[in-house]
Amino acid sequence: MTAALVLGLLGLLLGLALAMASKAFYVEKDARIEKVEAVLPQANCGACGYAGCAAFAEAVVKGEADINGCIPGGGDTASAIAGILGKKAGKTEKKVAIVHCHGPVSEMKNKFEYQGIADCNAAMLLHGGDSDCIYGCLGYYSCIEACPFDAIDVTEKGGVRVNEEKCVGCGACIEACPKHIIELKPASKQVDVLCSSKDKGADVMKICKVGCIGCKKCEKICPVDAIKVHDQLAVIDYGLCISCGKCAEVCPTHVIHDRLASRFAEGKRTPPVISSEKCIGCTLCAKSCPVQAISGAVKEIHEIDPGKCVSCGICVDKCPKDAILWDGN
Amino acid sequence: MNIGSLFIIAVSAIFINNFVLMKFLGICPFMGVSKKLDSALGMGGAVIFVMTIASAVTWLVQRYVLDKHGLDYLQTIVFIVVIASLVQFIEMFLQKSIPDLYKALGIFLPLITTNCAILGVTIMNITEKYSFIGAVVNGLSAGIGFTLALIMMAGIREKLDLADVPSAFKGVPITFITASLMSLAFMGFSGMKIG
């Protein structure tokens, strides 16, 4: 009897104390935090710079983080958050990772035989890795391990290539790569230099067939001065690049990769053609052309000069009537 | 109770009778939360905190409620109820008053509410007939001993991640082997005479 009484009383007292405590110590939590968290991708990748989606949601509601801070979520998530918070989302351009190395790992003569753990960071500790090229991919796939979205594939030569459709630009691979050859670039840009070697041309040729030799052919042909050779290495300024792929065409070692080229017959870009039936003469295409290759007066059918055109495809996207035909789209 | 005997209680709880490695209590968090040093530190902090406060409160409950009414046999259930509500209370209190500490201990506080190591230390306080101060010191030291074991384990496991472990032993098996070796090492303390 006493047992039941004591236990019952104890339970009652503790229950009451807890009930009172939950009132006394009630912490008001912003209901919007939960709503914001619900629209986040829940990958907890940390690309936003916070500990996870929950922490980011809290920071956004408090106004400490940008609405478009969630890189994997992209524009959709940003506008969903904006809807919840009643703010306007800035425009976010999707970014993807790019590995600046062709990764001919299987063709590299190795400096020594590495038998340690199959991990780039571990291999890096031994004289910067076993690969002859001190700049390039080591081929132990630490980036693939790190990728939460399974967006990095192995090429036939043992290098790595980012699958740009799966990549959300979280940057996990960038952290994982000890050679620092991965960076983020705007997803809309189609042309990349797949080499990070700063060695002189002759030295590069000795160890790698697909390395940048710093010949500056790309620099000379670029219509917008977007590609420059620094320290024997061509680097594209993605802010200026119009993705015309001219540099990829002249590159003697094929180290510049044009993603659109494969869509054309013979793997080479051809200029777009304006359909005379659909063109309404709005001049939008002519205004958008970076090399002034389109001519035509208002309300008249426009024409593209194939001699001037660099086949960048910017006009194709600008045309409101889909009157410009091009294999690249 | 003088300083000397408190010191003996402390050394005994941290090393000689280490809760994890010698008494095999609290194995679950020891295995579960020892993957990373950060979370091991958080867990350790929460255990020290809860063990100390639970020791004090259950000692008072035992002395002034159970002993008074001759209800020793209710000890287990009463302690569980008291510890569970206590942790709940502390959690609410921290969230309101010390949000930083609440964030640091975070998820670990509710996790250890019903852990056997906590119950173990409170019951041990009673069976060893410690005074109130002795019980608190025992709780604190048991928590420190737990944290010590957890941090050592986390340190080893972080290194193990990079080691070339035979595939049959990868993951949990090598962790258990490591734990038993650590336990063997701690056996070296037993039989040590203090004071």
Q: What is the pLDDT of residue B114?
A: 72
How far apart are the C-alpha atoms of B76 and B88, rounded to whole Å?
18
Q: Rounded mean pLDDT of B130-151?
A: 93
Question: Cβ–Cβ contacts within 10 Å for residue B188, how many?
Answer: 10
Q: Which of A105-109, A135-139, B60-64, B131-135 has the lowest mean pLDDT?
A: A105-109
Minimal Cα–Cα distance from A41 to chain B, Å?
22
Say if residues A255 and A264 touch (Cβ distance below 8 Å): no
How far apart are the C-alpha atoms of A3 and A1, rounded to whole Å?
5
The answer to whether the CB atoms of B71 and A10 lie below 8 A apart is: no
A65: left (phi over 0), alpha (psi -120 to 50) or beta: beta
Q: Which residues pair with B45 in a beta bridge?
A: none
Residues of B in contact with A18 (CB under 8 A): 85, 88-89, 92
Which runs of E-coded beta strand occur in chain A?
95-99, 152-154, 160-162, 182-186, 191-193, 227-230, 233-236, 256-258, 273-274, 294-295, 303-304, 324-325
pLDDT at A147 over 60: yes
The answer to whether the CB atoms of B81 and A11 lie below 8 A apart is: yes
- Amino acid of residue B113: T
Q: What is the pLDDT of residue A92?
A: 65
Minimal Cα–Cα distance from B85 to chain A, Å?
7
Burial environment of residue B190 by CB neighbours within 10 A (0 to 12, 13 to 18, 19 or more): exposed
From chain A residues 122-161, the ones with a CB under 8 A of any chain B CB are 122
Q: What is the pLDDT of residue A90?
A: 62
Torsion of CA A193, A154, A311, A215, to 10 degrees: 30
Phi first, then psi: give them for residue A271, nearest 5 degrees. Answer: -65, 150
Per cent of chain A over pLDDT 70 is 98
Q: Which residues pair with A2 in a beta bridge?
A: none
- For chain A, give every domain's residue range: 30-92, 93-188, 190-259, 270-329
How far apart are the C-alpha atoms of B188 and B21, rounded to whole Å?
11
Q: What is the pLDDT of residue B141?
A: 95
Q: In 3D, which of A306, A236, A230, A319 has the Cα closest to residue A279?
A: A319
Q: Rounded mean pLDDT of A308-324?
A: 87
How far apart are the C-alpha atoms of B147 and A162, rounded to whole Å?
42
The answer to whether the CB atoms of B69 and A15 lie below 8 A apart is: no
Q: What is the pLDDT of residue B142?
A: 94
How far apart are the C-alpha atoms of B43 and B32, rounded to whole Å?
10
Tell me whether A8 touches chain B (CB under 8 Å). no
Phi first, then psi: give them for residue A184, nearest 5 degrees. Answer: -95, 140
Q: What is the pLDDT of residue B156?
A: 92
Minimal Cα–Cα distance from B82 to chain A, Å?
8
pLDDT at B195 over 60: no
**Would you place residue A72 in the very low, low, confident or very high pLDDT band (cuts 50, 70, 90)?**
confident
Tell me whether A18 touches chain B (CB under 8 Å). yes
A117-131 b/e (C-beta count within 10 Å ≥ 16 → b) = eebbbbbbeeeebbb
Q: What is the pLDDT of residue B194?
A: 63
Q: Classify domain A270-329 by CATH number.
A: 3.30.70.20
How far apart are the C-alpha atoms of B23 and B121, rounded to whole Å?
10
Per cent of chain B over pLDDT 70 is 95
The pLDDT tens digits for B29-67 are 888 788 888 878 888 888 898 899 999 999 999 999 888
ipTM for this model: 0.72
pLDDT at A129 over 70: yes
Please report how the helices B132-160 and B3-11 are oriented relative to each other, as an axis angle in degrees rounded to 10: 30
How far apart are the C-alpha atoms of B87 and B78, rounded to whole Å?
14
The answer to whether the CB atoms of A117 and B162 lie below 8 A apart is: yes
Residues of B in CB contact (< 8 Å) with A are 65-66, 69-71, 73-74, 77-78, 81-82, 85, 88-89, 92-93, 95-97, 162, 164
How much is the mean pLDDT over chain A?
Answer: 86
- The CATH architecture annotation of domain A93-188 reads 2-Layer Sandwich (3.30)
Q: What is the pLDDT of residue A269?
A: 86
Tokens of A301: 């059918």
Q: What is the pLDDT of residue A317?
A: 84
- Amino acid of residue A199: D
Q: HSE (CB half, 13 Å, CA atoms) of B34? A: 27
The pLDDT tens digits for B58-74 are 999 999 988 888 888 88
Helix, strand, coil percent content, chain B, rounded in steps of 5: 75, 0, 25
Tokens of A228: 């420059």
Domain A30-92 has CATH 3.40.50.970: no
Provide the CATH topology of domain A190-259.
Alpha-Beta Plaits (3.30.70)
The residue in chain A having the minimum alpha-carbon distance to the alpha carbon of residue B85 is A14
Q: What is the pLDDT of residue B132?
A: 93
Say if residues B4 and B25 touch (Cβ distance below 8 Å): no
The answer to whether the CB atoms of B71 and A26 lie below 8 A apart is: no
Tell me whether A49 touches chain B (CB under 8 Å). no
pLDDT at A93 over 60: yes
Phi first, then psi: give them for residue A185, nearest 5 degrees. Answer: -140, 160
Q: What is the pLDDT of residue A25?
A: 80
Residues of A in contact with B162 (CB under 8 A): 117, 119, 122
Tokens of A272: 């777009």
**Would you place residue A45 in the very low, low, confident or very high pLDDT band (cuts 50, 70, 90)?**
confident
Residues of B in contact with A6 (CB under 8 A): 65-66, 69, 71, 74
The pLDDT tens digits for A22-38 are 888 877 777 788 888 88
Q: Which residues pair with B188 in a beta bridge?
A: none
The pLDDT tens digits for B168-181 are 888 889 999 999 99
A270-329 and A30-92 share a CATH fold:
no
Burial environment of residue A78 by CB neighbours within 10 A (0 to 12, 13 to 18, 19 or more): buried
pLDDT at A75 over 90: no
Say if residues A263 and A327 touch (Cβ distance below 8 Å): yes
Per cent of chain A over pLDDT 90 is 20
Closest CB to B89 among A2, A18, A119: A18
- What are the counts of helices (DSSP H) followed by strands (DSSP E) for chain B? 10, 0
- Enumerate residues 6+ apart whose C-beta is below 8 A from A11: B81
